Structure 1
């Protein structure tokens, strides 16, 4: 996008030099672009939703990315009449594949989980509707014997969803569904390959074959690897458009990118877009890193948008967050992205009704919020039975002997600064605690037994930091201020607090260090023998 077109877009939003900017108490300013003119660098703050969580909708006709904060990677979006639905990679969290709904592309609220059966790690699914039925195509490796693609279906987006069906497409991930000019259904996969499906979409009807040789970037560009993946397809005005991610989804911030190709037939030949790459992070000074894995979607008023993911500058611990960027179709039948580096507030899509946004994370445990807020990480068979709702509390039976081998209850966060606290009461010879959890090799936090308060640093307990006591209940608090973590504990249910003497810095707890493409989540673990009663979870920014 040229400097002139970017400036015109900002001017259309009323954000020109000297113009008034919206102000929101407690909001965190975006990183500025040191290489851009001052008139284009006005800092725009986020709105605030429930619990003070940051919110994309600024309430004045503008929005600021992310549209879904926190670890919502590989977005797949479906326009269904006046509604939009979206889901994301859920990785090792179960219940998984939470479906979100919007009517304006900016405000999103969870509907509920579509997947309950443990298929192992879930990456880059595709949500589609065909002949009145909803489908989610799911790459998974449930037995550790190699990836395949599964499918679940439902006649109502809210479910119930079917049990997973293995399509037996070996060694493939990142499915992208399309109906060809012949009326037949196809899945494209990483590679970029394609395979024909049966009419009902629940089995394959042919062989996996090469579909497209993606556009190649110059050899001196700094990327992670070539990695053609995430194919998403759209048919418009007689053309099939194939939008693909290349360059690797993590690694150097300049690696991930969005490219496009088009063809008159789903079988090719495919023509590279002359504007490739359409989206790419150019330097570490930009507010969003590793931008890619895009899908095009038509807005409520007929304008067009691109939804993709990216890491926030300096905050890889939050995972890949969901971004919305305007595009425009050009006279030559291609399209171009208009949002620039997304540091500015942008005009909201026209014509949409404002819909509900994400609920707060504070939880009194009076309602079942599994699959919407809470999920178990890498649960074993029957893990869901560990949790039982009681009046005003959630009882969780112990798993493992410490956070290093338990299946913690986790909660995604999307704020750069926050505090969370909870009351825990032990029964039997249990240990429980409040942690920040990436995976079993990377976590920090406080835990306690009836005899001692424990401190975990980078997946190991620090024995010298133990504090002896004789209590079976405790209230714990974690504060995370842009990856600097502070702990407090209370023996009188929060009436008085003691700050723990150790603080930690956790900016390295992300994929480029520990793998897995995950994020640093709030976690509650219960280990040992017995159970713990969880009460009065509070979250604030």
Structure 2
């Protein structure tokens, strides 16, 4: 009786939805801003929003979509950055820039599943590149791992477990004594061996961070993300406090300085250097910062934040100018990050972004793709064939079949893919957060299925004999519409159910993730994905 009532209620909703209306007017969620001038980005590949506005200015984010905990390395005239990759595999994509604004991905440094990977640190020492990786492997708890390479594009070594347990957010530094150290959440530190591949001592408390006033609205204290810089006679320790998500006014950037990595550390009198003070601001929960010298010798701060109204996109990468002050400290001077800012001077502009569309014509998995939380054997589920990517089936639904995902960075977009069903497999197109939070449609050889908020809706099952279907997903400012076609996209049928997904984010489901486009393959046999296409609807 309950199921019939719910089905009837949905029929009424769908009947009403059939009338003409403005999707954008009904669905758009406004971003509260101090500056009410409409935001426009310059569009790049596939209509995706682009930071470089082409007139000597840029608009944040510099890397759109879920790219949290940025770690940045200046290496001569080049800049490299990577981000938290969580359970995705391949992971730790290395990005490259020559001007701090235009970024392109190179290759993943972590090619096999390691577990849940949190905020890492990318550095170079004695001509070798290192990435220090906190990872939760199974039920063994957090431990710091390290990989290394002689060239930034690899090959990278297999992960080495350094047996530094219970720690996340490493920050590498060479002390005034010439020894290498890792600082971690807490804020603690540990000496490393000269080759940087093992601990050489015990964890010690390094610094008791500055405390904000008790009446500030934050998530929790959470001192984390220590990044270190030697500038002049001082070591600067840049730290995040206030919690990573929760209230938009929580996360913040503070700093301290010392003549020695062993302390004592002096609080900056200007703390916090970055903080969201109002939910009306364009960027929320700003923190986890690193400092980097620009091409012309000026200085910049790179950190992450949630976009107001679009937590579903995850934490995105932001760039803000800083200046060194006469008292030997520094301050942020970007102001309202919703407005264009002057680009760093002296850099050479390069390409920006990457195409998400994929004809699956090469023998390698595109940089845009990764499995969500795969087992080690899941990376062997894929095989390239002429004009397609074969994905072996696993599990019975998107809840237990890790989807192949790619990461959008736009507020509104459209994605399409053609799936061939082989050997009785079921496949479909999703917006996927985690196994408990996703929406989508799927097809078996005899049935169309609908997944709404991680639940398959049996009352919406429809008999449909097919072994090939093209699917379209439209996410228009959180309102999701599906279409499908049995003639290769010449004619389309609109799926009866629209879904609203603005609530599928960390503050509801945990995990610090984002909504990704996903392709799943379940049941028996396999699917072959062909001609995946992506297009941003607009950049506003």
TM range (shorter): over 0.9
Matches of 1:532 and 1:379 in 2, distance apart?
Answer: 18
Moved more, 222-231 or 40-49: 40-49
CA contact (8 A) 2:249 2:276 kept: yes
CA contact (8 A) 1:118 1:142 kept: no
Which of the residues 310, 323, 344 maps onto 1:315?
A: 310
| CA deviation profile, 1:297-355 (whole Å, cap 9, x unmatched) | 00000000000000000100000000000000001010000112301000110000001
Matches of 1:363 and 1:421 in 2, distance apart?
Answer: 10
Q: How far off its partner does 1:42 sit?
A: 4.2
Matches of 1:368 and 1:273 in 2, distance apart?
Answer: 52
Matches of 1:382 and 1:116 in 2, distance apart?
Answer: 12
Alignment of 1:336-485 (within 5 A): 336-368=331-363, 370=365, 372-485=367-480
| CA deviation profile, 1:387-428 (whole Å, cap 9, x unmatched) | 111111111110111101001000001000000010001011
Matched, 1:75 2:82: no
Q: How far off its partner does 1:283 sit?
A: 1.1
Matching residue of 1:263: 258
- SS of 2:271's equivalent in the other structure is coil
Alignment of 1:492-511 (within 5 A): 492-511=487-506
Cα RMSD between the aligned structures? 1.3
Q: How far off its partner does 1:265 sit?
A: 0.6
Alignment of 1:153-232 (within 5 A): 153-232=148-227
Matches of 2:149 and 2:30 in 1, distance apart?
Answer: 40
Matches of 2:491 and 2:36 in 1, distance apart?
Answer: 44
Q: How far off its partner does 1:357 sit?
A: 1.0
Matching residue of 2:132: 137
Matched, 1:151 2:146: yes
Matched, 1:254 2:246: no
CA contact (8 A) 1:30 1:287 kept: no
Matched, 1:234 2:229: yes
CA contact (8 A) 2:219 2:247 kept: yes
- SS of 2:164's equivalent in the other structure is coil
| CA deviation profile, 1:222-260 (whole Å, cap 9, x unmatched) | 111000000000000110000000000000000000000
Which of the residues 311, 332, 338 maps onto 2:327?
A: 332
CA contact (8 A) 1:71 1:519 kept: yes
Matches of 2:331 and 2:76 in 1, distance apart?
Answer: 25
Relative distance call for 1:257 and 1:369 in structure 2 (3 A) is farther
Matched, 1:33 2:33: yes
Q: How many aligned positions are there?
A: 509
CA contact (8 A) 1:309 1:323 kept: yes
Matching residue of 1:113: 108
Matches of 1:440 and 1:77 in 2, distance apart?
Answer: 31
- SS of 1:168's equivalent in the other structure is strand
CA contact (8 A) 1:32 1:343 kept: no
Matches of 2:232 and 2:31 in 1, distance apart?
Answer: 39
Relative distance call for 1:236 and 1:45 in structure 2 (3 A) is same
CA contact (8 A) 1:301 1:349 kept: yes
Relative distance call for 1:371 and 1:130 in structure 2 (3 A) is farther
| CA deviation profile, 1:279-300 (whole Å, cap 9, x unmatched) | 0011111110100000000000
Matches of 1:468 and 1:313 in 2, distance apart?
Answer: 41
Relative distance call for 1:245 and 1:160 in structure 2 (3 A) is same
Matches of 1:369 and 1:109 in 2, distance apart?
Answer: 18
| CA deviation profile, 1:112-159 (whole Å, cap 9, x unmatched) | 000123211100000000000000000011132210100000000000
Matches of 1:371 and 1:305 in 2, distance apart?
Answer: 31
List alignment gaps of at least 5 residues for structure 1: 1-27, 35-39
Matches of 1:309 and 1:478 in 2, distance apart?
Answer: 28
CA contact (8 A) 2:312 2:503 kept: yes
- SS of 2:46's equivalent in the other structure is helix
Matching residue of 2:22: none
CA contact (8 A) 1:85 1:101 kept: yes
CA contact (8 A) 2:302 2:317 kept: yes
Matches of 1:172 and 1:302 in 2, distance apart?
Answer: 34
Matches of 1:32 and 1:464 in 2, distance apart?
Answer: 39
Relative distance call for 1:138 and 1:371 in structure 2 (3 A) is farther
Relative distance call for 1:105 and 1:29 in structure 2 (3 A) is farther
CA contact (8 A) 2:275 2:285 kept: yes
List alignment gaps of at least 5 residues for structure 2: 1-27
CA contact (8 A) 2:119 2:168 kept: yes
Matches of 2:376 and 2:301 in 1, distance apart?
Answer: 38
Matching residue of 1:540: 535
